[in-house]
Amino acid sequence: MGDPFGMTTAHVMAAGMCGIRTAGDLVAWMQLTRRMKIDEAKQYVAAKLGISVLDLSNEEVMHQIREELDIGIISGPADATKGVAARCRIAELLDISIHSVNIFKEKLNAPLTPIA
Amino acid sequence: MTEKFLTRMGDGERVSLTAEEIREDLEAGNQDAAQRGNIPALSSDELDQLFAIVTDPNRITAVRPGREVITTDDGGANMIVCDKPDGGVGLPMGYHNAVLAFERLCCADTIGVGHYDYSCKPVKALINYEKQRYYMYSQAATIPLIYGTQPNLGVYFQPDGPFPNATELIPAGKIKEGQEAQEAAAEALIEDLIYIAGELYDAGCDGFNFDTCASAGDADFYASLTAVEALKAKAPDMAVEVGMASEFVLGMHSEIEYKGTRLAGMYPTEQVKVVEEAGADIFGMAVNVNTSESFPWNLTRAVAFLKATVEVANIPVHPNVGMGVCGVPMLSVPPIDCVTRASKALVEIGKADGL
């Protein structure tokens, strides 16, 4: 988008998918990891979620889906998955390789080397 | 009495224009883009759509449901905490909080972060701190986190940097010396970009934004493209976005090439092809605003360039819609009537993949 002074919000509300409120981050991952153009990226995510492309930006549908899949929701309750843990679930859901997730899992699953 | 519509000039000044005046400006902007960029002009149907968007009586407008796109930005989270010269609002809160606010209050699709200075050169000395910051934010943020920096070849020249200043050499007639200075500075910039991005990759960086590329001309663009190519080999799982400084690559060097293609004088339809060739994943097109022309003139011009660029692009195109580019007026507090109209037009007519 670009700066400055609060203009971001205007662009997001006028034309953005609205990120974690809906499926914005999921579609963004497809552009970042597979270079998909917007229509292809939306179709891919919609197919994975089993919903229509129109519902990807429908809060009434997407909030419930995100809550049920536990992939991070806008309200961020303390007992819900968020952050890198949510991204791990998103990578699995979308069947994509996310670098930060891979690094996290590498560290998580690395064998404990006994102290000599 | 002839009906008039509220719109603005490229500098944000509010003006009232008749339908005939707006249509004249739409057509003039359209022809300007077509002639300069050697691209197809927008059709009369598309100009009608633009007219409807510009003359929408509502204060703000938006895309139709289902037409929403992805947002990426140039350090968007910075804006919450940084100071006025960088377009920030200076809130007294930590950067970590700003990142999460950008995700959960601004509801962007991705989060842009970066060093406060934002140029590549100062980051090198602080790279460990930047890695720490990225790592911390990455643990807490759910949506994609993209680290951005401006290549900014200009700061590699004296007195800010070690290389002779090309902008002093060239006016003095020392063309060859000016070219050599740019080539040497470009090599230093390439090294820094690869180093910085490589270090962030080790910390789990998911995306790197080369922002405002070619701000110092064709050698700046060459350095960015060369760094992108090297980076995609070194860090294949990190997405790279290349955002441009302007619609036209200035020929400060004038002869420098990337893989046999001369970079000086490139317009967006040509820029995107070399960006693709370098291996980038997203192209950020920029079209400059002419402050002496109207918002309808500027917007049409941007939409025409964008549509032609999207048609030849094999990667997503996110036009830059910051102050003074792609129709958004050159005013430090851009009016949201123009901001939202630019969003809608670029997405629905220009077929943007994101903003």
Best of B53, B63, B71 to disrupt the A interface by mutation (most A CBs within 10 Å)?
B71
B319 pLDDT band, cuts 50/70/90, is: very high
- B26-36 pLDDT, tens per residue? 999 999 999 99
Indicate the residue type of A115.
Answer: I
Cβ–Cβ gap A57/B66 under 8 Å: yes
Closest chain B C-alpha to A42 CA, distance in angstroms = 9
Check A83 against B347: CB less than 8 A apart.
no
Instruction: Among B68, B281, B315, select the one facing A15 at the smallest CB separation.
Output: B68
Asked if residue B292 lies in contact with residue B13, where contact means CB atoms within 8 angstroms, the answer is no
Q: Hey, what are B112's tokens? A: 């842009």
Q: How far is A13 from chain B (nearest CA, A)?
A: 7
Element (H, E) at B8: strand B4-8
pLDDT at A3 over 70: no
* Contacting B residues, span 191-230, partner chain A, CB-CB under 8 Å: 201, 203-207
Q: For B76-135, how does the pLDDT look when each residue is reduced to its tens digit (9 = 90+)?
A: 888 888 887 777 888 999 999 999 999 999 999 999 999 988 999 999 999 999 999 999
- A77 burial (CB, 10 Å; 0-12 / 13-18 / 19+) is exposed
Interface of B with A in 169-198 (CB under 8 A): none
Average pLDDT over residues B308-314: 98
Q: Do B316 and A35 touch (CB under 8 A)?
A: yes
**Of how many residues is chain A composed?**
116
Model confidence over A43-88: pLDDT tens digits?
999 999 999 999 999 999 999 999 999 999 999 899 999 999 999 9
Angle, helix B127-140 to helix B175-202, in steps of 10 degrees: 40
Q: Which residue of B has its CA nearest to A87?
A: B142
* Number of neighbouring beta carbons within 10 Å of residue A55: 19
> What percent of chain B shows pLDDT beyond 70?
100
Residues of chain A contacting B320 with CB distance shorter than 8 Å: 1-2
CA angle B14, B15, B19 (to 5 degrees): 135
pTM as predicted: 0.96
Chain B contact for A77, CB < 8 A? no
pLDDT at B75: 85
DSSP H or E stretch at residue B207: strand B207-213
8 Å CB contact of A1 and B322: yes
Q: Please determine, for the modelled complex, whether the ipTM score is greater than 0.90.
A: yes
**Interatomic CA distance for residues B328 and B322, integer angstroms:** 7
Chain A residues whose beta carbon lies within 8 Å of the beta carbon of residue B228: none
Tell me the per-residue pLDDT of B211-269, one tens digit each, with 9 for 90 and over: 999 999 999 999 999 999 999 999 999 999 999 999 999 999 999 999 999 999 999 99
Q: What is the 3-state secondary structure (H, E, C) of B108-156?
A: CCCEEECCCCCEHHHHHHCHHHHHHHHHHHHHHCCCCEEEEEECCHHHH
Taking the Cβ of residue B277 and every Cβ of chain A, the question of whether any pair is shorter than 8 Å is answered with no
Sign for the CA dihedral angle at B253, B258, B261, B265 comes to negative
From the list B139, B328, B355, the residue facing A84 with the nearest CB is B139
